[in-house]
């Protein structure tokens, strides 16, 4: 899995987050269910929980508001046809 932001680098405020899901051979995984939780460890606060929309090409997008300038941790899970994967992403939002 990989995560990208628009705008990039991420900024405080509205962001479109896109997750790319690939299988062990590197092929795009289409039709998965992708979700994420987030938190801000330095502030001991939870962030938004997101359900990503399937873009039909192995990428999944969600719009959220990163309302604090701090370090964010995103825990992403993807599942499809009985298989699942998880990834953690750490991001600085200035």
What range does the domain containing 32 cover? 2-92
Mean pLDDT (the chain) is 97
CATH of the domain at 38: 2.60.40.1930
The total of structural domains in the chain comes to 1
Exposed / middle / buried, residue 17 (Cβ in 10 Å: 0-12, 13-18, 19+): buried
- For the stretch 62-94, pLDDT in tens is 999 999 999 999 999 999 999 999 999 999 999
- Rounded mean pLDDT of 37-45? 97
CB environment 28-66: b (16+ within 10 A), e (fewer) = ebeebebbbebbbeeeeeebeebebeeeeebbbbbebeb
Measure the CA–CA gap between 21 and 63, rounded to whole angstroms: 18
């Amino acid at each position: 899995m990989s995560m990208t932001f628009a705008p990039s680098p991420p900024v405080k405020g509205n962001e479109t987050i896109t997750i790319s899901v690939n299988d062990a051979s590197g092929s795009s995984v289409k039709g998965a269910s992708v979700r994420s939780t987030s938190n801000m460890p330095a502030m001991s606060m939870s962030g938004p929980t997101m359900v990503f929309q399937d873009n039909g090409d192995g990428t999944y997008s969600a719009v959220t508001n990163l309302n604090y300038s701090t370090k964010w941790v995103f825990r992403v899970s993807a599942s499809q046809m009985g298989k699942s994967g998880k990834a953690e992403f750490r991001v600085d939002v200035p």
